[in-house]
Amino acid sequence: MDILFEDYYLLAINKPAGLSAENGEQRHPSAEREALFYLTRVLNEKSTSSRLKVTPYLKVAHRLDRPVSGVLLLAKTKTALLDLMEQFESRAVEKIYMAVVAKRPPADSGILKDWLAKDPVQRKATLFKNEKKGRQYAELSYTVVQNIGPGALLEIRPATGRFHQIRAQLAQLGCPIVGDTLYGGPAWQEHEIKLHAARLTVRHPKSGETLELSAPIPASWQL
């Protein structure tokens, strides 16, 4: 368990690609479950509260796709969870991602704006250029950080947090993420794509202070 930050209210980890963010019906492992095992062990060793030892509270505060690595924030109290969810909903959180794409973008920087609809059958996002009922506005900005052969390393700042937004918008630009075969990218490693949540800036739900969390790009990317 790669711990980035921990106090009474929050736990931030560097989630490996291949783990789901939260517990669900799937049988594959989740970061939430692994973090709960960690927290339970720590509480049994250090806490004097018998209630916490039996029923520790830990919930993921935001979504991070299974094949994506990086900063994942979890709440250790219900009050902290509600506060964080409100911050994400109101777009008060700053998120920065890094991605390796198979083809360089047509410009060194740009802003992508689309309307996104989730296809529940194929479990992927479809993009449109016009607004319509059932579609959500999706916007991100990108900057080329490094050229890598025919591809590039990008820094991405999503202004919205839609389902598969970064993956779908980059693919539509003609720059699919390496490993993201669902959106036309070249195969890499099973259950992993080269998309990484590098930095997350939030307001601490108790102190109100700005909390900046960061995680290094995985060594397996071999940049």
- Residues taking part in catalysis: 65
Element (H, E) at 144: strand 136-148
Q: What is the rounded distance in angstroms from the CA atom of residue 36 to the CA atom of residue 59?
A: 9
Contacts of 28 (CB under 8 A, 6+ apart): 18, 19, 20, 66, 191
**Which DSSP string corresponds to 114-132?**
EEEEEETTTTEEEEESS--
Contacts of 108 (CB under 8 A, 6+ apart): 143, 144
Q: What is the rounded distance in angstroms from the CA atom of residue 182 to the CA atom of residue 180?
A: 5
Task: Give the number of other CB atoms < 10 A from CB of residue 138.
Answer: 24
- Residue with token string 């669900």: 24
